[in-house]
Amino acid sequence: MEVIDNREITDNVFILRLELTENALKPEPGQFYLLRPDSGYDPLLGRPFSAFRWNNDWIEFLIRKTGRGTALLSTFRPGDHIRILGPLGRSFPPHSPHKTPVVLAGGIGMASVYSLTLKHKAEHIFIYGAKSATELLLTEDIRPRVRELYLCTDDGSMGFQGNVVEFFTEFLKKTSSHSIVVYACGPEKMTKSLMEILKKYNIESYLSLEERMACGLGACMGCAKDTKTGMKRVCMEGPVFNIEEL
C-alpha cells in the first residue's frame, strides 16, 4: 500500500499513514497488521502493529523505533510502498450499555486501545500512563474523544505520580467494580499487576497482550501464551483475551 504521510511526533515515535484501497477490510479495535517494505527481504518478516486510527481512505499506525525494522519504516516517505497484511487477530468486544468502559493504556500500548474511542466517542474513562510527561503521546487528541482522561507519570511530571495500575487501585475505591468493564494494553509488567487486581475484584476485563511475533499467522507458535485451557497463539486466539482465559 502507498504511504500517504509519515510524521515524527517525538524523537523515537512516528505516525505512519497508509492509503486504504476501496476493497480493503477495515479493522476492529485491537486488531493488528504485519508491515514490511514492498521490495527486498530485509527484514524478512513483517512487524506487527496495532491499528491506531482509520477511516474509509487511510489507516494509521503509531510506531516506536525499537530496532532495525521500525527504524526502516520511519524512513518511508509519501509515494513509497509498504506490504501490509491484515487485519489480523481477535478484537476487543463491544461493551454492555449497562457498564462504563474503562480503558487503561501503558506506554505505546495506547495505540491498541485508542481505537475503542473511534466508534463510541465520549463514553470511555481513559487512564493513560508513561514514564514521564514527554512520553505521554497525543493527549490532546484523546481528550475530546473520551468522557474522562486521567494521566499518570512515574516521575510525577504530569498528572498522578505513579503508574496506571496504582491509579486504577485508587479509582476502584470510589467505583463499583461491577459497574465497569476494563480494556487494557501495556507492557507485560503492567499487565501482570493489573490482572491481580481485576481477578481480585472479579471485573469484566479484556487485555491486549504484547508478545513478540514472527509469522503473525499462527504457524510458527513463536507467540504462544499459557492459558487456563492450554497454549494459545497471541496472533490468532489473541491479541485480545478475556481475563477469564488467563
pLDDT tens, residue by residue, 42-59: 565 678 999 999 999 999
Domain co-membership, 55 together with 126: no
- Percent above pLDDT 70 for the chain: 93
In a domain, 75, yes or no: yes
Domain co-membership, 51 together with 171: no
**How confident is residue 145, by pLDDT bands cut at 50, 70 and 90?**
very high
pLDDT recorded at residue 246: 86
Look at residues 88, 121, 136 and tell me which one is the last residue of a structural domain: 88
Domain co-membership, 158 together with 218: yes
Provide CB contacts within 8 A for 15, sequence distance 6+.
5, 6, 7, 9, 52, 60, 61, 62, 63
Look at residues 61, 88, 115 and tell me which one is the last residue of a structural domain: 88
Question: Would the pLDDT of 242 be above 90?
Answer: yes
User: Could you write out the three-class secondary structure of 115-167?
Assistant: CHHHHCCCCCEEEEEECCHHHCCCHHHHHHHCCEEEEEECCCCCCEECCHHHH
Instruction: Print the domain residue range for 227.
Output: 100-245
**How confident is residue 182, by pLDDT bands cut at 50, 70 and 90?**
very high
Domain co-membership, 38 together with 143: no
In a domain, 198, yes or no: yes
pLDDT recorded at residue 132: 97
pLDDT digits (tens, 9 = 90+) for 193-236: 999 999 999 999 999 997 666 666 676 676 777 778 888 888 88
Domain co-membership, 121 together with 228: yes
Look at residues 53, 68, 88 and tell me which one is the last residue of a structural domain: 88
User: Alpha-carbon distance 66 to 183, whole Å?
Assistant: 25
In a domain, 201, yes or no: yes
Domain co-membership, 119 together with 241: yes
In a domain, 95, yes or no: no
Domain co-membership, 63 together with 118: no
Q: Please state the length of the chain.
A: 246
In a domain, 146, yes or no: yes
Question: Would the pLDDT of 161 be above 90?
Answer: yes
In the chain, the number of structural domains is 2
